[in-house]
A and B are shown apart, each in its own frame.
Chain A
Amino acid sequence: MRLSSLLYNFKQGLLNIWRNKMFSLASIATMTACIFLFGVFYSIGINFNSMVKAAEEGVAVTVYFEENCSQDIIDAIGKAIESRPEVLRYKFVSADDAWASFQQEYLGDEHASVAESFADDNPLADAANYEIYLNDVSKQTALVDFLYEQDGVREVHQSEDVARTLTDFNKLISGISVGVIIILIAVAVFLINNTVTVGISVRSEEIAIMKYIGAKDAFVRAPFLVEGVTIGAIGSIIPLVLMYFLYSSIMNYVAGRFSALGSMFTFVPIADVFKVLLPVSMVLGLGIGFIGSRLTIIRHLKV
């Protein structure tokens, strides 16, 4: 097909959309809703993931030893910890380390005198421990059970289940979003189908003439593909623009209002969100448009 013909068919495709405004609008609106929801779920998901990750990094399981535990047993516990695949890293914290960090964290400079009163008598003499960081919080309980089975283990502390709750919530959100998005994709394909069907029936006389004149199949079909793909493109550009402004304004709002919450509410930068959201949405939009019109053309346009 020569360039002038491509332009001609492109124009005819746009004309289809224009002549068939109600159906086109319904299709575009559904596509917009579909991709907008996808964008919302994706943004929530990616932010949750980053929160989970941040939380995971702070989560530690702490293992305390029995009184007067020998160095050999402590080493053996260390070996056992090392053998677990879910362990990201672990470190030995001696009683002195524990006391030092306690002082720093809770007493601060002003209370140096309090600390001094203990002098060499470490109040946390029993506080030597292993601090274990996990690469997968969901394995935390299993690890704790495992640790209790080891000789010389007096107590295992596990940190709050924030990360685990977040992970579960994340799974729930992705489950719901996948469901909603699949339904919306089906509705969008259905609506584009209808739109193109109407377009074909409006032009049936013209199509018949084209065939008598000797137009090739591709030429007869092209405007309807243009119609579907354009609806898909518009239906993905609108939600992307909406998402961009929504995301940045929420980010600004939260940063302004809840700055006190600090790192808990650090948003993933918009550029990182769109690095994935933009191409995926465009492919989704163009793909739905293409498939929707293609299906209709095969069914109704036996050339």
Chain B
Amino acid sequence: MIKLDKVSKTYEAGVQAVRDLSLHIMPGEFVFVVGDSGSGKSTLIKLLLKELTPTSGRIVVNGKDLAGVKHKQIPEYRRKIGVVFQDFRLLQDRNVYDNVAFAMRVVDSAPREIKKRVPHVLSLVGLQPKYRALPKQLSGGEQQRVAIARALVNNPKIILADEPTGNLDGNNAWEIMRLLDEINQRGTTVVVVTHNMEIVRSMRKRVITIKKGMVTGDEEGM
């Protein structure tokens, strides 16, 4: 599903954020990626989104070598990947329903499908009753659930979450992780970057540790 082969990324400033990194994530896996601040986790996510191109090495996602994905094909490629960020990135001037529907609109979905799919996804994340609320009227946990619904609505094969609980308190963090786990149970591959070691330890998933751009640990949860 996701395969990196000796991938390096050096920023223009000369910072080598990822070095010779190889890893393999199978379809249907739930993987935590942990590591100190500045170890290159976000850079890894950006490489997977083809927001950045590796300086060297090969990345294959969904059976596609990213080197062969041309600029024009990037949108099509990204539609198969849902992204969730620490800061939610919701559109503040639109309500819950429109934030989720937005993801379908911008990929040119039929209005009929949008009307069917959005309520379904909102009920999956437990936010159907609040579909008319604006982001600022929701708690952090609720906002992140809207973001997850938005990532999910186009039926991606993979969900990439970069510190999805970074802005949330313990309870809300747990709820979000459980939700991502639930989504994974339904067959979506999930990669979660996090600092929350307490949750990582108790969820017993595969954990990839990155240090200075290199994989220093990769273990199945026990």
Please tell me if B78 contacts chain A, counting CB pairs below 8 Å: yes
The stretch from A72-80, A96-104, A212-220, A264-272 touching chain B is A212-220
Instruction: Quote the shortest CB–CB distance from B193 to chain A (angstroms).
Output: 15
Selected contact of A209 from candidates B77, B89, B111, CB within 8 Å: B89
Minimum CB distance partner of B89 in chain A: A209
Question: What CA separation (Å) do A188 and B109 show in the bound complex?
Answer: 36
Q: What residues of B have a CB within 8 angstroms of the CB of A5 in the complex?
A: 105, 108
Let me know if B106 and A210 touch, CB within 8 A.
yes
Question: What CA separation (Å) do A214 and B83 show in the bound complex?
Answer: 11
Let me know if A216 and B75 touch, CB within 8 A.
yes
Question: What CA separation (Å) do A102 and B195 show in the bound complex?
Answer: 110
Please tell me if A119 contacts chain B, counting CB pairs below 8 Å: no
Minimum CB distance partner of A19 in chain B: B93
Interface residues of B in 161-203 (CB under 8 A from A): none
* Per-residue interface assignment for chain A, residues 215 to 230, with 1 indicating a CB less than 8 Å from any chain B CB and 0 otherwise: 1110110000000000
Let me know if A2 and B110 touch, CB within 8 A.
yes
* Per-residue interface assignment for chain B, residues 27 to 55, with 1 indicating a CB less than 8 Å from any chain A CB and 0 otherwise: 00000000000000000000001000000
Task: Pick the most buried of A8, A206, A209, A213: most chain B CB atoms within 10 A of its CB.
Answer: A213
Question: Chain A interface: which size bin?
Answer: 10 to 19
Q: What residues of A have a CB within 8 angstroms of the CB of B154 in the complex?
A: 213-214
Let me know if B79 and A213 touch, CB within 8 A.
yes
Can you report 25 residue pairs joining A to B where beta carbons are below 8 Å apart?
Answer: A1-B108, A2-B108, A2-B110, A4-B105, A4-B110, A4-B111, A5-B105, A8-B105, A205-B89, A209-B102, A212-B78, A213-B78, A213-B103, A213-B107, A213-B154, A214-B75, A214-B76, A214-B77, A214-B79, A214-B107, A215-B75, A215-B106, A215-B107, A217-B72, A219-B108
Minimum CB distance partner of A205 in chain B: B89
Interface residues of A in 1-27 (CB under 8 A from B): 1-2, 4-5, 8
Question: What CA separation (Å) do A214 and B75 show in the bound complex?
Answer: 4
**Known interface pairs A209-B89, A213-B78, A213-B107; 9 further A-B residue pairs with C-beta atoms within 8 A, sorted by A's residue number:** A4-B110, A206-B91, A209-B102, A210-B106, A211-B78, A212-B83, A215-B106, A216-B75, A219-B106
Minimum CB distance partner of A5 in chain B: B108
Interface residues of B in 53-97 (CB under 8 A from A): 72, 74-79, 83, 89, 91
Question: What CA separation (Å) do A294 and B177 show in the bound complex?
Answer: 44
Minimum CB distance partner of A209 in chain B: B89
Question: Chain B interface: which size bin?
Answer: 20 to 34
Q: What residues of B have a CB within 8 angstroms of the CB of A208 in the complex?
A: 89
Question: What CA separation (Å) do A282 and B111 show in the bound complex?
Answer: 33
Minimum CB distance partner of B77 in chain A: A214
Q: What residues of B have a CB within 8 angstroms of the CB of A8 in the complex?
A: 105
Minimum CB distance partner of B160 in chain A: A212
* Per-residue interface assignment for chain A, residues 30 to 51, with 1 indicating a CB less than 8 Å from any chain B CB and 0 otherwise: 0000000000000000000000
Question: What CA separation (Å) do A8 and B107 show in the bound complex?
Answer: 12
> Across the A-B interface, how many residue pairs have beta carbons closer than 8 Å?
49
Q: What residues of A have a CB within 8 angstroms of the CB of B150 in the complex?
A: 213
Task: Pick the most buried of A2, A4, A5, A209: most chain B CB atoms within 10 A of its CB.
Answer: A209
Binding site for A on B (CB under 8 A): 49, 72, 74-79, 83, 89, 91, 102-103, 105-108, 110-111, 150, 154
Let me know if A212 and B49 touch, CB within 8 A.
yes
Instruction: Quote the shortest CB–CB distance from A96 to chain B (angstroms).
Output: 86
Q: What residues of A have a CB within 8 angstroms of the CB of B110 in the complex?
A: 2, 4
Minimum CB distance partner of A8 in chain B: B105
Question: What CA separation (Å) do A213 and B149 show in the bound complex?
Answer: 12
Let me know if A214 and B78 touch, CB within 8 A.
yes
Let me know if B91 and A209 touch, CB within 8 A.
yes
Q: What residues of A have a CB within 8 angstroms of the CB of B49 in the complex?
A: 212
Task: Pick the most buried of A2, A4, A8, A214: most chain B CB atoms within 10 A of its CB.
Answer: A214
Q: What residues of B have a CB within 8 angstroms of the CB of A4 in the complex?
A: 105, 110-111
Q: What residues of B have a CB within 8 angstroms of the CB of A206 in the complex?
A: 91
Question: What CA separation (Å) do A217 and B83 show in the bound complex?
Answer: 19
* Per-residue interface assignment for chain A, residues 171 to 188, with 1 indicating a CB less than 8 Å from any chain B CB and 0 otherwise: 000000000000000000
Q: What residues of A have a CB within 8 angstroms of the CB of B106 in the complex?
A: 210, 213-215, 219-220
Instruction: Quote the shortest CB–CB distance from A303 to chain B (angstroms).
Output: 9
Question: What CA separation (Å) do A208 and B89 show in the bound complex?
Answer: 9
Q: What residues of A have a CB within 8 angstroms of the CB of B107 in the complex?
A: 213-215
Question: What CA separation (Å) do A8 and B110 show in the bound complex?
Answer: 12
Q: What residues of B have a CB within 8 angstroms of the CB of A210 in the complex?
A: 106
Instruction: Quote the shortest CB–CB distance from B95 to chain A (angstroms).
Output: 15
Q: What residues of B have a CB within 8 angstroms of the CB of A2 in the complex?
A: 108, 110
Q: What residues of A have a CB within 8 angstroms of the CB of B111 in the complex?
A: 4
Question: What CA separation (Å) do A22 and B195 show in the bound complex?
Answer: 45
Instruction: Quote the shortest CB–CB distance from A166 to chain B (angstroms).
Output: 58
Question: What CA separation (Å) do A209 and B102 show in the bound complex?
Answer: 10
Question: What CA separation (Å) do A92 and B75 show in the bound complex?
Answer: 82
Question: What CA separation (Å) do A1 and B76 show in the bound complex?
Answer: 14
